[in-house]
């Protein structure tokens, strides 16, 4: 029986496209390796990803009734990035025009599983 837990972080400022670049780096990796990758990645999205991954691991420990978990046996099974609400803003442009600025946000879901 594989035990799994997940963590969801919603309304993260930044585009989903940029978050997916970071998510693709850790999909399918062990949690230790994923945390190393995220900790040393220069991208802004990696910090948010790291805290969410730590939360998912913590949820897994709590689901096991506080039992011991071998860090090498925990893997990132699925990680999804979905688009959140878009705030629309207007920037003045030449000759009386207005350019629309779309401030995007995203939702991050991480599922970790303990392999037997």
The domains of the chain, with CATH numbers, are 3-114 (3.90.470.10)
Q: What is the pLDDT along the chain (116 residues), one digit of tens a residue?
A: 588 999 999 999 999 999 999 999 999 999 999 999 999 999 999 999 999 999 999 999 988 876 778 878 899 999 999 999 999 999 999 999 999 999 999 999 999 999 87
Tokens standing for residue 98: 């207005």
Nearest-angstrom CA–CA distance, 9 and 105? 11
- What pLDDT is stored for residue 64 in this prediction? 82
Q: Name 89's Cβ contacts closer than 8 Å, sequence gap at least 6.
A: 100, 101, 102, 103
Query: Does the pTM exceed 0.95?
Result: no
């Amino acid at each position: 029986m594989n035990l799994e837990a997940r963590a969801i972080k919603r309304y993260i400022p930044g585009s989903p496209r940029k978050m997916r670049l970071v998510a693709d780096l850790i999909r399918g990796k062990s949690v230790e390796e994923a945390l190393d990758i995220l900790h040393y990645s220069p991208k802004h999205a990696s910090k948010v990803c790291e805290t969410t991954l730590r939360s998912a691991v913590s949820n897994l420990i709590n689901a096991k009734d506080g039992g011991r978990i071998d860090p090498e046996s925990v893997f990132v099974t699925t990680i999804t990035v979905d688009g959140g609400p878009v705030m629309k803003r207007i920037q003045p442009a030449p000759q009386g025009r207005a350019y629309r600025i779309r401030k995007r946000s995203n939702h991050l879901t991480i599922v970790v599983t303990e392999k037997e």
